[in-house]
Amino acid sequence: MKSFTQFTEAYNIFPKSEGEIDALDHLDDNKKEGLKKIFNQVITNDSGMPDPIGISSKKGESTKVKLARAIADDFDLKTLSQGTGWKVEVGDGSRGGRGTGNKGFQFEDQIVNDVEKYIEEGITADFKYKDMMKKLHVLVLGKGEEIVVKKVGDQDTKRPIVFGDASAVIGGRNLQIGEKISDVTVWVDGNPNYISAKTSGTVTFFNAGVRTIYTDDQFEQGKITNTDGKKLLSMLGIDEQRFIETFTGYDKTTAQKARGKTQKDIVDVSRTANKKALQRLLLTGIGYGFIMIHKKGKTVETYKMTAGRMRRASTIESIKVLYPKKGEAKRIDIEVVTPIYIFKFNIRNKQGGLYPTHLMCDYKPNPKYSA
C-alpha cells in the first residue's frame, strides 16, 4: 500500500499531495484549504522533499504545521502562514518509519474485518462499508462457498521503471499484476481475488530514480547523451534544451521571490510526444487482474480492473508540459489526460540538490469519466 506516513504520536501526518490532504477526516474544509496553500507554496519552491510538512492527527491540535528542518531556512515562516489558518513552525515531527496509525493499513484492516463479517453472517451483516460489501458480493464473494481473507499489504512488490529497446515499462512487461500489488487477498473456493486498497483522491503511480541517466556532466555540457535519458524526454514530449535550461538556469533568489506565484509556460505536446511509448508505460503501470477499492473521504469506490478498463485508462487524450519561467523552479511537470485518469508527472531533485534525481507520477480520477 503506497500512502503517506501517519503515526500515533504528535505531528505524525506527512501528506504528499492535495489528495492526501483532502482525505484527512479530522480537518474541516477551511483547514484543508489552508494546509494545501502551505503545501503548494513549499512544493512550488522545489524543497527537494515529497513530504515537507507535518501536522498532528489529533483534532484539537489542528493549528500548527511543522516544516522540515532540512528546508526551513529557505522560507519566511510568517509569510508562509499568512491567510492559511495555520501557524508554521520548524520541526521534523514523527518522521522515520511506518507506524501503527498508518491510514492505509487501517483501511486494509477494515476491509478484512468486513469480509470476515460476511463469512460469519452473510450479506446482511452490519458492515462498516456496506456499499463496498454489496459490490464485493456481486463481483466475487457470492460466487462460492468457502471464503478465506488475508491482509498482504506489507508484502507489496516494488515495481521500478525499466528502460528497454522500444520503450520504458514499470515493473516488467506482464500486465496481469494483481498478485504483485495486492493489499488484501480473498480466496473464494481456492481461487485468489486480489484487492488494491487506496485511501486518497490522488494516488502515487510510481517514483523512479533518474540520477544515473541525467548526470551532472550532461547539464554542464548542455547536451543529454544518455540513451535512456533521451528516450524519456521523447516519451514525455519535453524539449531537450528547455529541460537542461530549467535546471542550469535555476536561481534561488528568483525562486524565493516567485514563491507561491511560479508561472508556467504550458505547451501542448500531444502531437510531438512519443505517445505510443508513453501509453506502454501507463499500461504496465496500471495493469489488470485485481479489484480496486478506493476510499475518497466518506465514499468508497469498488470496481474490477479488467484488461478493457486498463486499456481505456491508458488511452492518451492529451499531453501538456509545464515549463517554469526562467530561474523560478528546478522541476518540470507533465500532465497526461486519459478517459479515466489524469496523470501528473514531474522530474525534479528530491535530495536538496540542483539536477534531477527522480521521475514521479501521481494520478487522480478524471472528473469527466463515465463508466
Classify 185 as helix, strand or coil: strand
Flag whether pLDDT at 155 surpasses 70. no
Answer whether residue 359 shows pLDDT above 90: no
Residue-wise pLDDT tens digits, 312-345: 999 999 999 999 998 888 889 999 999 999 999 9
How would CATH label the architecture of 103-157+171-203+286-312?
3-Layer(aba) Sandwich (3.40)
What integer is the mean pLDDT of 158-185? 76
CA-CA distances (angstroms) from residue 152 to 155, 190, 347, 359? 6, 16, 31, 27
Between 20-24, 255-259, 299-303, 346-350, the lowest mean confidence (pLDDT) is in 255-259
pLDDT at 10 over 70: no
Choose the weakest-confidence range: 58-67, 161-170, 216-225, 348-357: 161-170
Cα gap 371→337, rounded to integer Å: 16
More confident residue, 46 or 239: 239
The rounded distance, in Å, linking the Cα atoms of 188 and 175 is 23
Q: Is the pLDDT of residue 100 over 60?
A: no
Give the up-direction half-sphere exposure of residue 282: CA atoms within 13 A in the CB hemisphere: 32
Judge whether residue 1 has pLDDT over 60.
no
Each domain of the chain, given as residue ranges in start order, spans: 18-90, 103-157+171-203+286-312, 204-282+314-365
The answer, yes or no, to whether residue 50 has pLDDT greater than 90, is no
Question: Do residues 5 and 14 touch, judged by C-beta distance below 8 A?
Answer: yes
Output the nine-digit C-alpha cell for 316: 492518451
Give the list of residues 6+ apart from residue 34 with CB closer than 8 angstroms, or none: 83, 84, 85, 86
Question: When comparing pLDDT for 161 and 324, which is higher?
Answer: 324
Residues 6+ apart with CB under 8 A from 102: 3, 5, 6, 7
Per-residue confidence (pLDDT) for residue 192, from 0 to 100: 96
The residue-averaged pLDDT of 186-190 equals 95
Q: Which amino acid is residue 104, in one-letter code?
A: G
Do residues 229 and 324 make contact, with C-beta atoms less than 8 angstroms apart?
no
